[in-house]
């Protein structure tokens, strides 16, 4: 498995306040105010002559009628259009548009909006002259309502999908983390069991080391990230436990752990807890403990450009099959890496009849950046 280490391009995120604003309604209200103010400054209606009397009453009533048609379509879309009840949608919308034009004509007639040489005109004249204008205006209002509703629904559904994806990510990561505990405990108890079968005096020491490791997993691993120093300390405790399975005079040489870090890097960088342990567990589970001079060789190297290289090499036990059925360590690790470091990691496994090696490369971020990333998943 080899993935590019280039950083993922993140989509633009709107501020939380803007996400909560009912922006389609604010757009509609802004348009109403804009045209009211424009007409007031020009002091004209849709036709000459000038309108001075009852201007704000006329503006208020026309805004009410315009809003009525706007929100009629707004309410019809989820109830009829989205449910593909198109005949009923267009029928009700057509009736609403006709009622809008009739009411606007009636309002213009009542307020004597059109006069010729100062003489009010008949209702038939208003119908003849204004019906096409108000039907066209109503159609524009319906189209504006239609597209604002589509845009609002699309953006809301996109945010809902993102929230569901985050919730799924949190749930999957929590599940993977809970699977690590019994997997680790199962392997370690098997090791202690082998010590007790041989009546080894090191068995009590193994139980003590196990309690220290479980304390880390129960309390520290609940965090999204831990300092690199704490993860290294956890690996060293695990290796100390594995030392008990080997002859005391050979253990130090058989298990080698090399750490190469820039000064202060172990506290400046963080990573998810128990991300390195599955590779080490797998080495002891399937490795040949009788191999000499080296049973397992581990190397942890952090470069100046924040690349963490972690490699584990072990001699193959006779007839061993790495990650045999029932093992979940490497499978969980691959999935966690895909979720936590998309396109920012490499995991290379090389196996032959004699040796098994795994090399993992991560692009680590400094402590503050990792905290912001973890908070975005909450």
Q: What pLDDT score was predicted for residue 4?
A: 35
Query: Residue 225, SS3?
Result: coil
Nearest to 236 by CA among 263, 257, 219, 215: 257
- For 151, half-sphere exposure in the C-beta direction (CA atoms, 13 angstrom radius) is 11
pLDDT score at 295: 83
pLDDT score of 167 more than 70? no
Confidence of residue 176 (pLDDT cuts 50, 70, 90): low
Please compute the mean of the pLDDT values over residues 163-186 and round it to a whole number. 61
Residue 297: phi and psi, rounded to 5, are -125, 125
Cα–Cα nearest to 266, from 298, 231, 234: 231
Amino acid 48: pLDDT: 43
pLDDT in tens, 217-239: 777 666 778 899 988 988 888 88
End-to-end C-alpha distance for the chain, whole angstroms = 29
User: Which domains, ranges and CATH numbers included, belong to the chain?
Assistant: 16-160 (no CATH), 200-376 (3.30.565.10)
pLDDT digits (tens, 9 = 90+) for 313-372: 988 876 655 444 334 567 778 888 888 888 889 999 888 878 889 999 998 877 654 454
Question: What does the alpha-carbon distance between residue 159 and residue 153 come to, in Å, rounded to a whole number?
Answer: 10
> Which of 39-48, 126-135, 289-298 has the weakest average pLDDT?
39-48
Q: Judge contact between 177 and 221, C-beta under 8 A.
A: yes
Which runs of E-coded beta strand occur in 170-223?
A: none
Give 20: exposed, middle or buried? Use CB within 10 Å, 0-12, 13-18, 19+.
exposed
Q: How far is CA 203 from the centre of its chain?
A: 45
Q: Answer yes or no: pTM beyond 0.75.
A: no
Contact yes or no for 67/32 (Cβ under 8 A): yes
- CA separation (Å) from 111 to 39, 263, 354? 16, 83, 97
Segment 73-119, tens digit of pLDDT: 999 998 888 888 899 999 999 999 999 989 988 888 887 776 676 67
Residue 259 has pLDDT above 90, yes or no: yes
Task: List pLDDT tens digits, range 2-58.
Answer: 333 333 344 444 555 555 678 888 899 999 898 888 777 765 544 444 455 677 888
More confident of the two residues 57 and 170: 57
CB 69 within 8 A of CB 141: yes
Whether residue 309 is predicted with pLDDT greater than 80 in this model: the reply is: yes
> Which string of DSSP letters, residue by residue, matches 268-314?
HBEE-TTSSHHHHHHHHHHB-TT-SS-SEEEEEEE-TTSEEEEEEEE
Res. 213 pLDDT band, cuts 50 70 90: confident
Query: For the segment 179-210, what is each residue's pLDDT rounded down to a tens digit?
Result: 555 656 776 777 778 778 877 777 787 787 77
């Amino acid at each position: 498995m080899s993935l590019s280490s280039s950083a993922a391009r993140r989509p633009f995120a709107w501020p939380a306040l803007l996400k909560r604003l009912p922006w389609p309604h604010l757009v509609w209200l802004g348009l109403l105010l804009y045209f009211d103010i424009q007409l007031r400054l020009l002091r004209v209606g849709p036709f000459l002559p000038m309108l001075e009397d009852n201007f704000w009453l006329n503006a208020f009533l026309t805004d009410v009628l315009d809003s009525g048609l706007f929100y009629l379509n707004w309410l019809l879309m989820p109830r009829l259009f989205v449910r593909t009840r198109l005949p009923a949608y267009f029928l009700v919308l057509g009736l609403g548009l006709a009622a809008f034009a009739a009411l606007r004509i009636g309002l213009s007639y009542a307020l004597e909006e059109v006069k010729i040489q100062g003489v009010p005109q008949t209702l038939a004249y208003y119908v003849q002259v204004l019906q096409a204008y108000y039907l066209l205006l109503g159609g524009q209002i319906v189209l504006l309502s239609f597209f604002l509703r589509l845009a609002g629904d699309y953006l809301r559904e996109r945010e809902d999908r993102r929230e569901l994806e985050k919730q799924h990510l949190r749930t999957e990561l929590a599940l993977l983390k809970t699977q690590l505990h019994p997997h680790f405990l199962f392997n370690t108890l098997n090791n202690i069991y082998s010590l007790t079968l041989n009546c080894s005096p090191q068995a009590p020491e193994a139980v003590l080391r196990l309690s220290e490791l479980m304390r880390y997993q129960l309390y520290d691993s609940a965090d999204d990230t831990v300092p690199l120093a704490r993860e290294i300390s956890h690996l060293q405790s695990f290796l100390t436990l594995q030392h008990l399975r080997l002859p005391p005079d050979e253990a130090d040489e058989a298990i080698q752990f090399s750490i190469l870090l820039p000064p202060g890097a172990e506290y400046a960088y963080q990573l998810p807890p128990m991300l390195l342990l599955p590779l080490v567990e797998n080495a002891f589970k399937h490795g040949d403990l009788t191999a000499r001079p080296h049973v397992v060789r581990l190397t942890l190297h952090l470069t100046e450009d924040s690349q963490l290289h972690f490699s584990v090499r072990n001699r193959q036990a006779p007839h061993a099959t790495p990650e045999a059925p029932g093992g979940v360590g490497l499978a969980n690790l691959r999935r966690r890496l895909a979720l936590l470091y998309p396109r920012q990691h490499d995991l290379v496994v090389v196996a032959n009849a004699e040796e098994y090696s795994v090399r993992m490369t991560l692009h680590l971020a400094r402590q503050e950046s990792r905290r912001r990333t973890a908070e975005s998943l909450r």
